[in-house]
């Protein structure tokens, strides 16, 4: 859920205007080489203007050029300050959720609640144990190690409906700033003060931890190279002019240099990056690095964990399907016993379904050993004292365990369950298969449509699940993914990502469980659900606070929009510079070479008005493009070639035409006002 804007535009603009003056510090300007060079040139023309005034030689044009050069620097600073200001306004609302409070610290996870010690939340450290009860604010990020509670996460996600957080499983993670609505939790702190998710988000939106991405660094190097090239071009104009019997004032050369270097994209580059990250934060996604956001814009393959990502993940026991000669009550009794050591939501749902069916007739048996579920055996159960083994697990696991085959009728019903998108669990007693349990999972609404959007963007979706191939195929068909990988182990997920990357593809992975952590760490873009385990959130480089796997659509679009915005405005800026070169140069050399009048397409009045008009246009175009830099160029799911054609036509051709129109209009105003 997107957050509403938190600051009034007027206050935002006023603050940004003040910050643009503060950013005139050379130390801050050095971070942007193009604008730093512009400020150096403005300082040079300031000295020339002072010299002319002291000598009494007028200098009206010099003063005007100097003022507009400084205005160019201020406008570039204003664009960056405005982008940062929007982030700071959002950070203030986030910071309000991190208030210091009194908490109940326990000496250990097993300690009784009565031994709780009241301390300040600022004293908590990673690894310590905290008790939170109904009405308490969860002080910092942690993992539930005991208890179950309803938690209001609206301060973080914007969703008013409480969610369930419980120890064990993939929904044990809690976030600082949320509130316990009912019951209680014992939490192990997983972050030191200042290192929580909220703190990371605040630092991100304020720009305190925003590092330049590789693409941004490469573009900065390109802009610096262009600046050096134009410096060489402008420096050679003076000796060329002298050879031609004319002279160009130094202030004109300085102004020409600033109008030719890529000041437009140089002034907007930082704002584009900050605004892109801000859009991501507005979508309730924490990015650990800007590299991940840009990589999202180039993703080719998306791997999604089915449980909790494509589906809600709460597979519930829906029905008992007995084998031939086995009564439903006997199957329910065996399933109830086999689920006694299964603390997963599925196991609990089997116990609940059996209890509803059996009522007061629950089995009474002496259990000698509990067999816990593991990813390797994929079954669980109990051993009774009389030597009977009761097991419940995946179809292939039970078949291997018993060495038996289900009867034809049961086999048909198992296949029907799998084809319907359900999950069949077999129940056995010793070497006999008693029947199956039908587990149902529910596809999240809107998933199919979102995957269609991804396909239009050129992103291939692959569902990864531990389910059997029939179940996986049914879910994949219903969800609309392009491919699926069934019976996947953590090692298989990791290998699939490596295989895709070996073929030159960028891979994104969504997941929420500890078993997803290796794959999340290997993927170019790892999106962890906030409701998932701490291990998953540590492994991912993006964290979705809403725990909505379809959010990756927005992440991909934000990444693509960031790349497209930067590319479009770079194209416009460079085209601008080329147009200004051919528009201004004929006016400057018209006296020495009358034949250049044919190239003076705009009919500029004089060299003075030409250079002043170009400087004014150069400053104003930055202001005109600030809304586009902050909002981003609109992205439509089209092919790369179609996108390139559109950008070249719109921003390339536009960058060539707009300076001619703009400089001519300004020239007419300058002449009409007798400014030169």
- Tally of CA atoms within 13 A in the half-sphere of 507 that contains its CB: 24
Question: How far is Cα 52 from Cα 99, in angstroms, rounded to an integer?
Answer: 59
Over the stretch 22-67, which tens digit does the pLDDT of each residue have? 889 988 888 888 999 999 999 999 998 888 888 776 668 889 999 9
Two tokens at 92? 């203030």
Over the stretch 95-117, which tens digit does the pLDDT of each residue have? 655 566 777 888 877 777 777 77
- The percentage of residues in the chain with a pLDDT greater than 90, rounded to a whole number, is 10
Q: Are 153 and 74 in contact (CB under 8 A)?
A: no
Q: Are 514 and 536 in contact (CB under 8 A)?
A: yes
pLDDT computed for residue 44 by the predictor: 92
- What is the fold of 285-310+444-545? Rossmann fold (3.40.50)
What is the strand order of the sheet 389-394 is part of? 316-322, 432-440, 423-429, 389-394, 379-384, 367-371
Asked if the model's pLDDT at residue 590 lies above 50, the reply is yes
CA distances from 514 to 279, 520, 532 (A): 28, 10, 8
Q: Are 105 and 119 in contact (CB under 8 A)?
A: yes
Domain spanning 102-138+141-190: CATH 2.70.150.10: yes
Mean pLDDT lowest for which of 195-209, 250-264, 414-428, 441-455?
Answer: 195-209
pLDDT computed for residue 419 by the predictor: 76
Mean pLDDT lowest for which of 4-8, 284-288, 501-505?
Answer: 4-8
* Binding-site residue set for ATP: 342, 346, 373-380, 392
Two tokens at 455? 């396909």
In this structure, the strands spanning 301-305 and 460-464 are parallel
Question: How far is Cα 668 from Cα 676, in angstroms, rounded to an integer?
Answer: 11
Question: How far is Cα 428 from Cα 416, in angstroms, rounded to an integer?
Answer: 20
* Binding-site residue set for Mg(2+): 512, 516
Over the stretch 307-352, which tens digit does the pLDDT of each residue have? 666 776 667 888 899 999 899 999 999 999 888 877 777 788 888 8
Report the candidate in 480, 29, 40 with the shortest Cα–Cα distance to residue 270: 29
- Can you name the residues that pair with 482 across neighbouring β-strands? none
pLDDT computed for residue 169 by the predictor: 64
Two tokens at 31? 């971070």
Over the stretch 291-317, which tens digit does the pLDDT of each residue have? 777 788 888 898 887 766 677 666 788
385 phi, psi to nearest 5 deg: -65, -30
Asked if the model's pLDDT at residue 436 lies above 90, the reply is yes
Residue with tokens 């939106």: 205
Length of the chain: 676
Q: Are 655 and 579 in contact (CB under 8 A)?
A: yes
**Per-domain residue ranges of the chain:** 12-89+204-282+556-673, 102-138+141-190, 285-310+444-545, 312-442
- What is the fold of 312-442? Calcium-transporting ATPase, cytoplasmic domain N (3.40.1110)
Alpha-helical regions (H) of 168-244: 197-205, 214-243
Residues 6+ apart with CB under 8 A from 324: 407, 409, 410
Two tokens at 432? 């006999």
* Binding-site residue set: 342, 346, 373-380, 392, 512, 516
Letter string b/e over residues 42-70, b meaning 16 or more CB atoms within 10 A of that residue's CB: beebbebbeebeeeeeebebbbbbbbbbb
Is residue 451 helix, strand or coil?
helix
Averaged pLDDT, 599-608: 77
Question: How far is Cα 392 from Cα 375, in angstroms, rounded to an integer?
Answer: 14
Cβ neighbour number for residue 29 with a 10 Å cutoff: 19
Q: Which residue has the higher pLDDT, 134 or 323?
A: 323
- Find how far residue 596's CA is from the centre of its chain: 52
- Can you name the residues that pair with 429 across neighbouring β-strands? 390, 432
pLDDT computed for residue 96 by the predictor: 58
Residues 6+ apart with CB under 8 A from 455: 461, 482
Report the candidate in 263, 245, 239, 238 with the shortest Cα–Cα distance to residue 40: 263
Q: Are 538 and 521 in contact (CB under 8 A)?
A: no
Averaged pLDDT, 120-138: 82
Report the candidate in 544, 558, 294 with the shortest Cα–Cα distance to residue 444: 544
Question: How far is Cα 540 from Cα 27, in angstroms, rounded to an integer?
Answer: 34
Question: How far is Cα 562 from Cα 631, in angstroms, rounded to an integer?
Answer: 10
8 phi, psi to nearest 5 deg: -70, 140
- Long-range CB contacts (< 8 A, 24+ apart) of 105-113? 105/129, 105/130, 105/131, 106/130, 106/131, 106/186, 109/145, 109/146, 109/186, 109/188, 113/184
Stated as kind and residue range, the H or E segment containing 357 is: helix 345-358
Q: Are 231 and 36 in contact (CB under 8 A)?
A: no
Q: Which residue has the higher pLDDT, 413 or 242?
A: 413
> Which residues belong to the active site?
305
- What pTM was computed for the model? 0.65
Is residue 166 helix, strand or coil?
strand
> Going along 244-362, which residue ranges are E strands?
285-287, 301-305, 316-322
Q: Are 421 and 382 in contact (CB under 8 A)?
A: no
Two tokens at 194? 């200042």
Asked if the model's pLDDT at residue 367 lies above 70, the reply is yes
Over the stretch 637-653, which tens digit does the pLDDT of each residue have? 666 677 778 878 888 88
């Amino acid at each position: 859920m997107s957050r509403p804007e938190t600051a009034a535009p007027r206050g935002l603009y006023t603050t940004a205007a003040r910050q643009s003056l503060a950013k005139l510090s050379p130390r801050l300007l050095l971070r942007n080489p193009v604008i730093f060079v512009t400020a150096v040139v403005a300082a040079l023309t300031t000295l020339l203007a002072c010299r002319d005034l002291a000598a009494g030689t007028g200098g009206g044009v010099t003063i005007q050029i100097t003022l507009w050069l400084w205005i160019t620097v201020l406008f570039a600073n204003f664009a960056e300050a405005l982008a940062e200001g929007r982030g700071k306004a959002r950070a203030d609302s986030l910071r309000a959720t991190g208030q210091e409070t009194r908490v109940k610290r326990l000496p250990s996870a097993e300690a009784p609640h009565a031994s709780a010690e009241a301390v300040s939340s600022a004293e908590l450290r990673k690894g310590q144990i905290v008790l939170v009860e109904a009405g308490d604010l969860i002080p910092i990020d942690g993992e539930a190690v005991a208890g179950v509670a309803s938690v209001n996460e609206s301060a973080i996600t914007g969703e008013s409906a409480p969610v369930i957080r419980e120890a064990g499983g993939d929904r044990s993670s809690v976030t600082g700033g949320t509130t316990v609505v009912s019951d209680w939790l014992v939490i192990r702190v997983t972050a030191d003060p200042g290192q929580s998710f909220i703190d990371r988000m605040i630092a991100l939106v304020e720009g305190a931890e925003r590092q330049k991405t590789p693409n941004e660094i490469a573009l900065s190097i390109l802009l610096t190279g262009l600046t050096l090239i134009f410096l060489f071009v402008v420096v050679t104009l003076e000796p060329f002019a002298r050879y031609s019997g004319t002279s160009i004032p130094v202030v004109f050369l300085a102004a020409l240099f600033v109008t030719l270097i890529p000041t437009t994209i140089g002034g907007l580059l930082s704002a584009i990056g900050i605004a892109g990250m801000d859009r991501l934060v507005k979508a309730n996604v924490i990015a650990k690095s800007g590299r991940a956001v840009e990589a999202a814009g180039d993703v080719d393959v998306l791997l999604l964990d089915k449980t909790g990502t494509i589906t809600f993940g709460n597979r519930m026991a829906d029905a008992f399907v007995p084998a031939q000669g086995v009564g439903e009550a006997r199957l329910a009794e065996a399933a109830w016993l086999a689920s006694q050591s299964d603390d997963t939501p599925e196991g609990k749902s089997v116990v609940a379904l059996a209890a509803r069916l059996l009522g007061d007739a629950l089995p009474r048996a002496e259990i000698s050993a509990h067999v816990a579920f593991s990813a390797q055996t994929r079954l669980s159960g109990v051993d009774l004292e009389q030597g009977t083994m009761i097991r419940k697990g995946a179809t292939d696991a039970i078949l291997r365990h018993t060495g038996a085959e289900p009867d034809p009728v049961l086999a048909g019903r198992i296949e029907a369950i799998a084809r319907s998108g359900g999950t069949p669990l077999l129940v056995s007693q010793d070497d006999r298969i008693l029947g199956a349990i039908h587990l149902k999972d529910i596809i999240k609404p809107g998933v199919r449509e979102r995957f269609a959007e991804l396909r239009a963007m050129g992103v291939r979706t692959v569902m990864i699940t531990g389910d059997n191939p029939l179940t996986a195929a049914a879910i994949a068909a219903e969800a609309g993914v392009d491919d699926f990988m069934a019976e996947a182990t953590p090692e298989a997920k990791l290998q699939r990502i490596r295989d895709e990357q070996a073929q030159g593809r960028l891979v994104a992975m969504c997941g929420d469980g500890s078993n997803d952590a290796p794959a999340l760490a290997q993927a170019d873009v790892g999106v962890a659900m906030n409701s998932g385990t701490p291990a998953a959130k540590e492994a991912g480089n993006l964290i979705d606070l809403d725990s909505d796997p379809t959010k990756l659509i927005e992440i991909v679009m934000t990444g693509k929009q960031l790349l497209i915005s930067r590319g479009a405005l770079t194209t416009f800026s460079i085209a601008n510079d080329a147009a200004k070169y051919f528009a201004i140069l004929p006016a400057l050399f018209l006296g020495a070479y009358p034949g250049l009048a044919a190239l003076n397409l705009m009919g500029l009045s004089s060299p003075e008005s030409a250079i002043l008009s170009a400087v004014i246009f150069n400053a104003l175009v930055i202001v005109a493009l600030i809304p586009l830099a902050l909002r981003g160029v609109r992205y439509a799911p089209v092919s790369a070639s179609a996108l390139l054609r559109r950008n070249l036509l719109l921003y390339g051709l536009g960058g060539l035409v707009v300076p001619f129109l703009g400089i001519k209009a300004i020239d007419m105003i300058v002449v009409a006002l007798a400014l030169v």
